[in-house]
Amino acid sequence: MKLTRRWLVLGTLLSTAFVGLLVLLVGQFVDFQTPSVDLKPFVSTEPAGETSSLPLRKFEWQARTPHPLDLKYPYPYPFLINHPDKCESPGGAPFLLMLVMTRPQDVAVRQAIRETWGNETLVPGVIIRCLFVLGLPPPLFAKELHTLLEEEDREHGDLLQVGFLDTYHNLTLKVLMGLEWMAQYCPTAHYVLKVDADVFLNPSFLVWQVLQPNGPPRPDFITGYIYRNSGPLRNPAYKWYMPPEVYLPDKYPPYCAGPGYVLSGPLALRVLAVAQTLKVIYLEDVFVGLCLQQLGVKPTPSPPQVFQMFPLQYEHCAFHRLALVHKFQPQELLQIWPDFQRVNMTCPTA
């Protein structure tokens, strides 16, 4: 009896210990999992701040594991879906090449853009070419999406798929590969527009008022909504977090905001050339600013309110006096477009 009780007590103790251990283990597991999910791109596995002698420092980067925000560029990413002859037309080189940044899964977004501002024949008398740039979907969805994308491309012939993983932190690769495509297949385009998919665009205003086909050529021209005197956000909680290991200075050069900026073809080629010599950072618009700084080119201010970075309620006349509004969902675009296209309205001239 006594013996049994002792065993019972021991058993209870042991099982308590076991449960305790389990709780500890699970706790640790959860502790470990949670931040690595949230902060995935930001957690550095390197020991902090090693100071080595200066002459050796420049070789350090070769030995260390790359920072999760480092981008592999230059690198021969292949064009997996391509239209080498997209820019060839009897009328000559395109006046405007639109490179629209979309993700592979954004099938409906691309369709809305085709039916609205992405329509290449919207501006009479001006050759416009519109290409959707995308990377690779996450491996889990690769098979389904591949079939879908091939079908979409067969119908519309306007996809440019490049062989890198399509993530927010790889956006600079998308822009640079778009420019590489331009350099290879469309080098005489007069202007190149880098544009995100979540915008309203007014191609007529952009062409006639901002780019002015009848004006003199402007080889150093780049415009958009210009950020000046901004600097890196050093708190990892921010979407645009920039660790000092990736970009050390505390200021960014002036740059045109990512949702939409337009530059001359010759400048696009020079930006691409100088990009081969710089450390690429994941903030695509800042990186183009760094290229411009290296080239000694300053963004040209556009008239105020022409590139709207903040949500703006649709109004027919107001939208005819601007080039771009950030933050438009595809349904909103499709909804306002018929009204926007009505040409017989008399708007006060500003």
Ligand X SMILES: *[C@@H]1O[C@H](CO)[C@@H](O)[C@H](O)[C@H]1NC(C)=O
Residues lying near ligand X in the complex (CB under 6 A): 41, 72, 114-115, 119, 121, 164-165, 167, 169-170, 344
**Which CB sits closer to ligand X, 176 or 263?**
176
Best CA proximity match to 91, nearest among 133, 124, 58, 119: 124
Query: What are residue 279's phi and psi, to 5 degrees?
Result: -75, 120
SS3 content of the chain, % helix, strand, coil (to 5): 40, 15, 45
Q: Is the dihedral of CA 146, 148, 149, 150 positive or negative?
A: positive
Residue closer to ligand X by CB (options 199, 263) is: 199
For the bound state, the minimum distance from the C-beta of residue 298 to ligand X, rounded and expressed in Å, comes to: 30
Using CA atoms, how far apart are residues 245 and 266, in angstroms rounded to an integer? 32
Closer to ligand X by Cβ: residue 121 or 277: 121
State the nearest-atom distance from the C-beta of 143 to ligand X, in Å. Answer: 17
- CB 346 → ligand X: shortest distance, Å? 9
49 or 338: CB nearest ligand X: 338
- The smaller minimum CB distance to ligand X, of residues 282 and 307, is found at 282
Beta-strand pair 128-136/199-201: unpaired
Calpha distance 350→332 (Å, rounded): 26
Q: Which residues pair with 97 in a beta bridge?
A: 129, 192
Instruction: Tell me the CB-side half-sphere exposure of residue 16, using CA atoms within 13 A.
Output: 6
Q: How far apart are CA 44 and CA 69, in angstroms?
A: 10
Please report how close the Cβ of residue 196 comes to ligand X at its closest, in angstroms.
18
Cβ atoms of 142 and 59 closer than 8 Å:
no
- Shortest spacing between CB 293 and ligand X, in angstroms: 24
Query: 114 or 327, CB closer to ligand X?
Result: 114
How far apart are CB 7 and ligand X at their closest, in Å? 56
User: What's the min distance (Å) between Cβ of 38 and ligand X?
Assistant: 15
Closest to ligand X by CB, 94 or 253: 94
The dihedral of CA 142, 148, 152, 153: what is its sign? positive
Which residue, 176, 79, 188, 195, is CA-closest to 127? 188
